[in-house]
Amino acid sequence: MKTEKTVFNHPIILILKQCPTLKALKQIHAQMITTGLILHTFPLSRILLASSTLALTYALSIFNQIQRPSVFLFNTLISSSLSPNNNHIDLAFSLYFGILRDKTLRPNNFTYPSLFKACGSNPWLHHGRALHAHVFKFLEPSSDHFVHASLLNFYSKCGKLAQSRYLFDQISHPDLVTWNSILAAYARSTSDNSSGNEDTSLSAEVLCLFSELQFSLVRPNEISLVALLDACADLGALSQGLWAHAYVLRNNLSLNLFVGTALIDMYSKCGSLSLANQVFDQLPQKDTLCYNAMIRGLAIHGHGQQAVDLFNEMGNKGLEPDEVTFVVVMCACSHVGLVHEGRRCFESLMEVYGIEPKLEHYGCLVDLLGRAGQLKEAEEMVRTMPMKPNAVLWRSLLGASRVHGDLQLGELALRHLIQLEPETSGNYVLLSNLYASINRWDDVRRVRKVMKDLGINKTPGCSLIEIDGTIHEFIMRDKTHPQSKEIYLKLEEISRRLQTYGHIRSIKEVLFDIEEEEKEDALSYHSERLAIAFALIASNSTSPIRIIKNLRVCDDCHASTKLISKIYDIEIIVRDRNRFHHFRDGACSCLGYW
SS (H, E, C) 437-448: HCCCHHHHHHHH
pLDDT value, residue 455: 85
pLDDT value, residue 340: 95
DSSP 506: -
pLDDT value, residue 158: 81
Query: Residues 473-515: pLDDT tens digits?
Result: 999 888 899 999 999 999 999 999 999 988 877 665 554 444 4
Between the CA of residue 135 and those of 53, 69, 106, 156, 160, what are the distances in Å? 28, 21, 11, 18, 18
Under 8 Å between Cβ of 270 and 203: no
pLDDT value, residue 193: 60
Instruction: Enumerate the β-bridge partners of residue 547.
Output: 465, 574
- Residue 120 to residue 114: CA distance in whole angstroms: 11
Instruction: List, run by run, the mean pLDDT of 10-residue segments along the chain (594 residues).
Output: 62 81 91 88 89 89 91 93 85 93 92 88 82 89 76 85 90 88 86 58 92 92 95 92 94 91 97 96 94 97 96 93 96 94 94 92 94 93 93 90 88 89 83 82 88 83 89 89 94 93 70 45 79 91 89 89 95 93 94 76
Return the exposure string of 128-154: e unless at least 16 CB atoms fall within 10 Å of the residue's CB, then b: beebbeebeebbeeebbbbbbbbbbbb
Report the C-alpha dihedral over residues 150, 154, 157, 162, rounded to 10 degrees. -100
- Residue 6 to residue 561: CA distance in whole angstroms: 79
pTM (global) more than 0.85: no
Vertex 545 angle, CA 540 and 548, to 5° = 145
Between the CA of residue 274 and those of 258, 270, 280, 298, what are the distances in Å? 19, 11, 10, 10
DSSP 571: -
- Residue 589 to residue 188: CA distance in whole angstroms: 32
Q: How many other C-beta atoms lie within 10 A of the C-beta of residue 421?
A: 15
pLDDT value, residue 196: 44
pLDDT value, residue 349: 93
pLDDT value, residue 510: 54
DSSP states of 212-271: HHHHSSPPP-HHHHHHHHHHHHHHT-HHHHHHHHHHHHHTT----HHHHHHHHHHHHHTT
Under 8 Å between Cβ of 561 and 574: yes
All structural domains of the chain with their residue ranges: 462-588
- Total residue length of the chain: 594
Query: Residues 293-337: pLDDT tens digits?
Result: 999 999 999 999 999 999 999 989 999 999 999 999 999 999 999
pLDDT value, residue 512: 47
